[in-house]
Amino acid sequence: MRASAPARLAARLSDLAGAPVVLERPSDPAHGDYATNVALRTAPQHRRPPKELAAELAERAAALEEVERAEVAGPGFLNLWVTPAWLAEALGEIGPDYGAGTPERRQKIQVELISANPAGPLTVGSARNGAYGDSVARLLSHAGHEVEREYYFNDAGRQVELFRASVEARRRGEEPPEGGYQGEYINELAARDVDPVQYMLGEIRREVAEFRIAIDSWRHQGEIEQEVAGVLPKLDSYEAAGTTWARTSEYGDDKDRPLIRSEDGSYLYFAADVAYVRDKLERGFDRAIYVLGADHHGYVGRLKAAAAMLGYDPERIEVLIYQLVHIVEGGQTKKISKRRGDVVFLHELIDKIGVDATRWYLVSRGHDQPIDIDVDLAAERTQKNPVYYVQYAHARIAGILRNAEGEHGGTPSELEKEERDLIKRLLEFPGVAAEAAERRAPHAIPIYAIRVADDFHRFYHEHRVVGSETEAFRLALVRATQSVIAHCLDLIGVAAPERM
RNA sequence: GCGCCUGUAGCUCAGCGGACAGAGCGGCGGCCUUCUAAGCCGCGGGUCGGAGGUUCGAAUCCUCCCAGGCGCACCA
């Protein structure tokens, strides 16, 4: 896989400049198709005025066949205009594998996501975990890594027993136990003749699939707990205050962590964490990614400490934190609590607005940004979800392609403004996808997709495709646009419809 | 008290070292005999929480302060 056209252009310019050139797309069209600040950045080390350096580079750049014009502007920017032939040729590179990377070092990566207790249906909080984590997994896979998705069922702990007891109490017509679970779904479960935990295990698998997340590996707490006894002797631990402690504070954690409950000698959760870390890394993953809500960010230190204590490079453990989803009711914002029943379930949101709008909505803001879902406004607000705007562009193109019979391709001698803008936008895709993967920031994809749809709708409004003088070229342009939109939607698990 | 995250247009959010800060929604006004009007165009709207600092250049980096969210269990 060779570098994308803009990357190759940047590389040629880097040779001319003798320094790495980063091309950006200026917002002001008067500043060219591409611009670079190399002269500004390298002026200090050359001890020469940036404008002088930029002027020299401009002269050399203008001699490149792909460059139509090069100008120095402002304090020392170099602005470039590219030829229609270069744009048309670059367009030809857009296809099924467009933007797919081959990393310098292909890694085997595990992404553990959701892993909600089977103590009820998935909440919108878990849905954010899934939408975010799965999109990161898709991005990494697109970037060329080998990715496996795992879901860990905490199906043997205290919370789950409390849940089971709550349902059973309900069946006997009693109040739930102290700290137990409440809510309509408990009543519904009580009415069914099933083991509540077994039932939820099945329900969650179904919901995850419906949310378009393909889990490769389902693990259960019991499996990990069997490994605990074998791991504990390998830890740097000591006895104090009636229990065994892992000396995690020596390995970057805030404090030491107890491994065994002194009351009854049973393993505490951290013991399972350690066993699980080893389990993951021993399975040959170069990297184990955990996707956790902000309420679990205290986990980062202890998981890395666990790895370090076992002799692994803690860099192999990566914890992705996303901010929480809150529900807003009557102007009041509150944290989701399954136990209290203050909760919006994923299936409710899907029923209201569908999988596409739900996934788009949950992944389209930065993971560092909290999300409020207003129970009353959710449906109304998401009717205006930009997902439809993007899907519409895809469907519109499908319509054009249904009407067209001619060949695709060719290079017109002149390009319309809307065509140039659209092509340049499409050429951004490999960079956008690579950066999104690198930064674990899938929200860049929907934002970019909106811009593509934007440029397409503008083009569509101004120019006809079928029956135009440059029909073959425009068919290729429109087909490439559709392909890039489809790639974007796929990266975030949203459907790309042929008709709307 | 300590740690992580956040504070950008009326609302929801992008932008995270470059050229006058952007989009969607909401408001107002235009555009369908032509490939889907779920569309396009125009208008209005911002001391980028505050104060210092680094830099040729800061919404973007550093420090402090203010405000909000989340953590700091022998629960998960």
Q: Does ipTM surpass 0.85 in this model?
A: yes
In this complex, the nucleotide whose C1' atom is nearest to the CA atom of residue A474 is B35
Of all nucleotides, the one whose C1′ comes closest to residue A156's CA is: B76
Tell me the nt nearest to A272, Cα to C1': B76
pLDDT at A330 over 60: yes
Rounded to 10°, the helix A471-491/A84-91 angle is 50
For residue A484, what pLDDT band results from cuts at 50, 70 and 90?
A: very high
Cβ of A366 < 7 Å from strand B? Answer: yes
Whether CB of A500 is under 7 Å from strand B: the answer is yes
Q: Helix or strand or coil: residue A386?
A: coil
CB A380 within 8 A of CB A448: no
The reply to whether A70 has its C-beta less than 7 Å from any atom of strand B is: no
Nucleotides, chain B, CB distance < 7 Å:
3-6, 12-16, 18-26, 34-41, 56, 69-76
- The pLDDT tens digits for A354-392 are 999 999 999 999 999 988 887 766 666 666 788 999 999
**What pLDDT does A461 receive?**
93
Sign of the C-alpha dihedral computed for residues A309, A311, A315 and A321 taken in this order: negative
A395 nearest nt, CA–C1': B36
- Helix (H) or strand (E) segment spanning residue A485: helix A471-491
List the A42 CA – B55 C1' distance (angstroms).
14
Q: Which residue has the higher pLDDT, A277 or A1?
A: A277
User: B61 C1' – A168 CA distance, angstroms?
Assistant: 57
* Cβ atoms of residues A24 and A35 within 8 Å: yes
Q: Could you give the residue ranges of the DSSP H alpha helices within A92-212? A: 124-142, 158-171, 184-191, 196-210
Name the percent of chain A lying above pLDDT 70.
Answer: 96
The predicted structure's pLDDT at residue A381: 65
Establish whether the CB of A383 is closer than 7 Å to any nucleic acid atom in strand B: no
Q: Which residue has the tokens 């919108």?
A: A124
Closest nucleotide over all strands to A36 (CA to C1'): B18
Number of residues that make up chain A: 500
When pLDDT is averaged across residues A398-414 and rounded to a whole number, the result is 88
Residue owning tokens 């570098």: A3
Region A102-121 average pLDDT: 91
Taking the alpha carbons of A384, A388, A393, A395 in that order, is the dihedral positive or negative?
negative
- Is residue A296 pLDDT above 60, yes or no? yes
- The average pLDDT across A260-282 equals 92
What stretch(es) of chain A map to CATH 3.30.1360.70? Answer: 5-82
Averaged pLDDT for residues A229-248: 92
In this structure, are residues A286 and A108 in contact, taking their beta carbons and an 8 Å threshold?
Answer: yes
Question: What pLDDT is stored for residue A458 in this prediction?
Answer: 93
Over range A224-251, report the average pLDDT.
92
Per the structure, the residue whose CA is closest to nucleotide B4 at C1' is A297
Is the pLDDT reported for residue A122 higher than 70? yes
Q: Which residues neighbour A386 within 8 Å (Cβ) at sequence distance 6 or greater?
A: A360, A364, A446, A450
pLDDT band at A274 (very low <50, low <70, confident <90, very high): very high
Of A5, A145, A152, A151, which Cα lies nearest the Cα of A440? A145
Judged against a pLDDT cut of 80, whether residue A331 lies above it is answered with: no
Burial class (CB in 10 A: 0-12, 13-18, 19+), A394: buried
Query: What whole-number distance in Å separates Cα of residue A469 and Cα of residue A203?
Result: 56
- Alpha-carbon span A442 to A134, nearest angstrom: 10
Instruction: Pick one of 3.30.1220.10, 3.30.360.10, 3.30.70.260, 3.40.50.620 as the CATH number of A108-382.
Output: 3.40.50.620
The DSSP element (H or E) to which A35 belongs, if any, is: strand A34-36
- Homologous superfamily (CATH) of A387-491 is Isoleucyl-tRNA Synthetase; Domain 1 (1.10.730.10)
Q: Specify the domain boundaries for CATH 1.10.730.10 within chain A.
A: 387-491
Query: Range with the lowest mean pLDDT among A378-392, A393-407, A452-466?
Result: A378-392
Q: What is d(CA A213, CA A208) in angstroms, rounded to the nearest whole number?
A: 6
Instruction: Give the span between the Cα atoms of A259 and A238, in whole angstroms.
Output: 10
Opening angle at CA A477, ends A389 and A498, nearest 5? 45
pLDDT band at A332 (very low <50, low <70, confident <90, very high): low
**pLDDT exceeds 90 at position A2:** no
Q: In the prediction, which pLDDT does A456 show?
A: 96
Question: How high is the pLDDT of residue A233?
Answer: 92
Residue A182's pLDDT is: 84
CATH of domain A5-82: 3.30.1360.70
How is residue A413 written in tokens? 């001698």
Distance CA A452, CA A457 (A): 9
Residue spans in chain A of domains classed CATH 3.40.50.620: 108-382
In the structure, how far is the CA atom of residue A365 from the C1' atom of nucleotide B10, in angstroms? 20
Q: Is the pLDDT of residue A51 over 80?
A: yes
Residue A240's DSSP bridge partners are A243
- Looking at every residue in chain A, the average pLDDT score rounds to 91
Q: Which nucleotide is nearest to A154 (CA to C1')?
A: B76
pLDDT confidence of residue A270: 93
Q: What is the pLDDT of residue A4?
A: 87
The pLDDT value recorded for residue A75 is 83
Joined together, the tokens standing for residue A104 give 């310098």
Check if residue A172 sits with its Cβ under 7 angstroms from strand B. no
